[in-house]
Structure 1
Amino acid sequence: MQLTVLGCSGSAPGPDLPTSGYLVEAGGARILVELGSGVFDPLTRHCDPFDLDAVLLSHLHLDHCADFSSLTVHRREHPEPPYDVTERRLPVFAPAHAPSRLAAAHAADRAELATTDLTDTYDFVPLAPGRYAVGPVEVEVAAMRHICEAYGFRLTHDGVSLVFSGDTVPCPELVRLADGADLLLADAAWREQAGRANYLHMSGREAGEVAASAGVGRLVLTHVLPWSDHDGVLRDATESFSGPVTLAVPGAVYAL
Structure 2
Amino acid sequence: MSTHHTSQNNEQKGIIMHENNQPQVAVVMVPWPSQGHLNQLLHLSRLIGATNLPIHYIAATAHLRQATARVHGFDPFALANLHFHDFPTPPFSTKISTLTHIQEPLFMLINKLSTKAKRVVVIFDSLMASSVSKAVKELPNVESYCFRSISAISLYSFYWKAAGKPEIPQNAAEILENLPSMEECFGPGFLDFLKSQRQARNFDSGTIYDTNRITEVSSVRVEEAVKRLMASDEGDEMRERAAKLAEAVKKSMMEGGDTRLEIDSFIAHICR
Choose between structure 1 and 2: higher strand proportion. Answer: 1
Choose between structure 1 and 2: higher helix proportion. Answer: 2
Give the TM-score band, short-chain normalised.
Answer: 0.3 to 0.5
Normalised to the residue count of structure 2, the TM-score between the two structures is: 0.35
Normalised to the residue count of structure 1, the TM-score between the two structures is: 0.36
Larger Rg: 2
